[in-house]
Amino acid sequence: RQMKQQLESVRSGFLLLLAAFIWGIAFVAQSVGMDYMGPCTFNAARFFIGGVVLLPVIWTKERMEAKKGAAEASAKKNKSGVLLPGGVCCGIALCAASLLQQFGIRYTSVGKAGFLTTLYIVIVPLLGIFVRRIPGVKVWCSVVVALIGMYLLCISGSVRIGLGDGLVIGCAFVFSIHILVVDHFAEQVDGVKLSCLQFLTSGVICLVLAFLTEHPSWNALFAGIVPVLYAGVLSSGVGYTLQVVGQKKVEPTAASLLLSMESVFSVLAGWVILGQKLSARELLGCALVFTAVICVQLPDKKKTKQVEIA
């Protein structure tokens, strides 16, 4: 049984790393998409596409469960009154965080945005204290190492908090809340359905804001269809679903560390795809973040997932 739990933990960790890889490349798609449309229009399109992509997945999954005789148990699980409010809560948090990030990318560099967004690896354990969750020493040490690594990786020269930086820092805070909200609902409902509902919720909110503050048009949407499709199908539909499914067996702070690998993958993607070379400083940053991610996944000698405050 212990071996099975360890395998499930490793599998979940791999899913979160895969989500981080997809999101790392998505920073480029988000930046390019802003050349064709406003932040609200871009996010509305990507989230609706992400939700629609999951509909056939849900249909196929339900048919497979019906053949296995598991449909009744699954229906009871998702009719407990948790799925809808869970999807709406996750969607609101995701919408707020994504809009802050999208607006922030307008006024700061992609590399700096990647670093500031992954500040959630510090914010998550701090917020966890307020819900009586204190991570162990190993996780805190990994957080420090990862922060140093991401600084070396993404920041060069002096660091000034401008408008874009402030927006992305706000995005990191809201993403931290999103991680904790997902953690709360993921074990109670079907992960794919929860992900689909959060996308549709985010899409509706962003669409209303787009008509109120921007001038969305089909021409602009088709002109930027490539970055929209990547952000919708892969970053939203696949990436956030991997997060929801992966977090079922991974403690929130450890999950945030794994997801923070997106900053590493974004730089590596620029190196491989765009021919941008990595300096010795950036390579050291990659190594430190990777080391932190590996360390946080190593099993503890004592079976203590978290410490409760009495």
Helix, strand, coil fractions of the chain, as percent rounded to 5: 80, 0, 20
What Cα–Cα distance (Å) separates residue 95 from each residue in 89, 131, 168, 189, 259?
Answer: 10, 23, 14, 20, 18
Tell me what pLDDT residue 307 has. 36
- The Cα–Cα gap between 103 and 12 comes to 31
- The Cα–Cα gap between 59 and 64 comes to 9
pLDDT at 304 over 70: no
Instruction: Report the 10 Å Cβ neighbour count for 87.
Output: 22
Instruction: Report the 10 Å Cβ neighbour count for 92.
Output: 18
- The Cα–Cα gap between 220 and 216 comes to 7
pLDDT at 309 over 50: no
Q: Please tell me whether the overall predicted TM-score, pTM, comes out greater than 0.85 for this model.
A: no
User: What would the pLDDT profile of 25-82 be if each residue is shown by its tens digit?
Assistant: 887 788 888 889 999 999 999 999 989 988 887 887 777 777 666 555 555 455 557 8
In this structure, the dihedral spanned by the alpha carbons of residues 86, 92, 95 and 100, taken in order and rounded to 10 degrees, is: -130
Handedness of CA 79, 80, 81, 83 (dihedral sign): negative
- The Cα–Cα gap between 161 and 115 comes to 13
Asked whether 247 and 35 are in contact (CB, 8 A), the reply is no
* DSSP states along 103-130: HHHHHS-HHHHHHHHTTHHHHHHHHHHH
pLDDT band at residue 159 using 50, 70 and 90 as cut-offs: low
pLDDT at 95 over 80: yes
CA count, 13 A, side-chain hemisphere, 289: 32
Q: Which of 282, 263, 266, 285 is nearest to 274 (CA)?
A: 266
pLDDT at 274 over 50: yes
Of 63-72, 132-141, 266-275, least confident by mean pLDDT is 63-72
User: What would the pLDDT profile of 251-270 be if each residue is shown by its tens digit?
Assistant: 776 777 787 778 778 777 77
115 forms bridges with which residues in the sheet? Answer: none
Asked whether 276 and 153 are in contact (CB, 8 A), the reply is no
